Amino acid sequence: MKEEEEALCEEEEELLQSLPKEKGWASQYMYLYQQFWCFPPLVQATISFQKHFQAKHNDIVIASLPKSGTTWLKALAFATVKRHRFVPSSQNHPLLNSNSHTIVPFFEFNIYGGEDNVIPDLSTIPEPRIFGTHIPFPSLSHSIHNSNCKIIYICRNPFDAFISHWHFFKTILPSSLPTLTLEEAFEGYCEGIHPFGPFWSHILGYWNASKDKPSKVLFLKYEEIKANTNFELKRMAQFLGCPFTKEEESGGLVDSIIELCSFKKMKELEINKSGKIANLIENKHFFRKGETGDWVNYFSPSMIEKLSKVIEEKLGEFGLFF
């Protein structure tokens, strides 16, 4: 076993040496693996996921760039899909006792990202299984591409996503590393050198897939879910093949899911005030402001001009943000 681990480390090291690298956020090296930037442990985790994950036809994958509303979408999807097993208004609902990242694990962090390189048995998870990922669309495992499983992508205005990511990242950085300044993070972001970036190719990968295969990929926006949660939630349930019945709607079920997953409710839960994910990241860091437009409090005029230009250049023709 020890020899196998050593061989794996050598292989990993060789692969890393062959990849383009740049100093990323907080002066740590990031590597360009399959056209996206990530820190070394994620390269190995992504390879393991690509090699081992076997999708089932009824799996659901929640995909996003970090800080786009993943925590919220995972909760909404879980509460909707499992509503017959767990009544959303119940005092024992799993989302009241566990953070949604614990209930809906990430492939690259929780499932295939363990330091022990153990491949978990996922076959016994109750169906439909729900997973999360920040891995870009082209790098998802073949079995996800080839099965009938469904993907829901949540996209957020890059201005807000950037500010949220900067806050989160500097909060979780070990104290041994230098502080991540807004300016440093911003430069990297505009060049596409940030975790799972460039943001424009990540967004476009899922956007194009949602146009090519609308029954496989649903593209949602954080701002639209915020503005009309009821409508977007029903759209999601319809897409997942479990639309709400008239009786469910008139009986207040949709409203109780929205309430259960609301920012205010989730932020105030004891588990989200004091709990941790995988004993590492404190749950409270996933709930900051939960607003749209907070970026105005941080951007200087020159930053606005610079990021607007990048968005216009890379995403302008798709009319996604303006």
257 lies in the site for ligand A3P, by CB under 6 A: no
157 lies in the site for ligand A3P, by CB under 6 A: no
Q: Which of 276, 284, 289, 306 binds ligand A3P (CB under 6 A)?
A: 289
Helices of type H across 152-276: 158-172, 182-191, 199-212, 222-227, 229-239, 246-250, 253-260, 263-268, 270-274
286 lies in the site for ligand A3P, by CB under 6 A: yes
- Distance, in Å, from the CA atom of 187 to the CA atom of 127, rounded to the nearest integer, reads 43
- Distance, in Å, from the CA atom of 70 to the CA atom of 292, rounded to the nearest integer, reads 15
Q: Which is nearer to ligand A3P, 54 or 171 (CB)?
A: 171
- Could you give the string, one character per residue 17-36, with x where binding to ligand A3P holds by CB under 6 A and - elsewhere? --------------------
Q: Which is nearer to ligand A3P, 110 or 164 (CB)?
A: 164
Q: Which of 128, 136, 197, 290 binds ligand A3P (CB under 6 A)?
A: 290
Give ∠ CA 150-138-18 in degrees, rounded to 5.
145
Structure tokens at 172: 């979780």
Structure tokens at 155: 């996209």
User: Using an 8 Å Cβ cutoff, are 129 and 122 in contact?
Assistant: yes
- Distance, in Å, from the CA atom of 322 to the CA atom of 304, rounded to the nearest integer, reads 13
Shortest gap between Cβ of 319 and ligand A3P (angstroms)?
23
Q: Which of 44, 46, 48, 164 binds ligand A3P (CB under 6 A)?
A: 164
Q: Which of 263, 306, 308, 314 binds ligand A3P (CB under 6 A)?
A: 263
Identity of the residue numbered 169: F
Give ∠ CA 180-185-187 in degrees, rounded to 5.
140
User: Using an 8 Å Cβ cutoff, are 320 and 207 in contact?
Assistant: yes
- Distance, in Å, from the CA atom of 112 to the CA atom of 203, rounded to the nearest integer, reads 23
Q: Which of 24, 40, 69, 88 binds ligand A3P (CB under 6 A)?
A: 69
Q: Which is nearer to ligand A3P, 29 or 39 (CB)?
A: 39
Q: Which of 93, 129, 150, 167 binds ligand A3P (CB under 6 A)?
A: 167
Q: Which is nearer to ligand A3P, 62 or 144 (CB)?
A: 62
71 lies in the site for ligand A3P, by CB under 6 A: yes
Shortest gap between Cβ of 111 and ligand A3P (angstroms)?
17
User: Using an 8 Å Cβ cutoff, are 156 and 162 in contact?
Assistant: no
Structure tokens at 206: 């899922």
Q: Which is nearer to ligand A3P, 100 or 139 (CB)?
A: 100
Structure tokens at 163: 């500010």
Q: Which of 36, 37, 72, 239 binds ligand A3P (CB under 6 A)?
A: 72
- Distance, in Å, from the CA atom of 43 to the CA atom of 52, rounded to the nearest integer, reads 14
Q: Which is nearer to ligand A3P, 291 or 312 (CB)?
A: 291
Shortest gap between Cβ of 290 and ligand A3P (angstroms)?
3
Give the residue numbers marked as catalytic: 134
Shortest gap between Cβ of 264 and ligand A3P (angstroms)?
8
- Through-space distance between the first and last CA atoms of the chain, rounded to whole angstroms: 54
Name the strand (E) or helix (H) holding 47.
helix 40-52
Shortest gap between Cβ of 118 and ligand A3P (angstroms)?
26
Residues numbered 86 to 145 that lie near ligand A3P (CB under 6 A) are none
The site for ligand A3P (CB under 6 A) is made up of 64, 66-72, 160, 164, 167, 261-263, 266, 286-290, 294
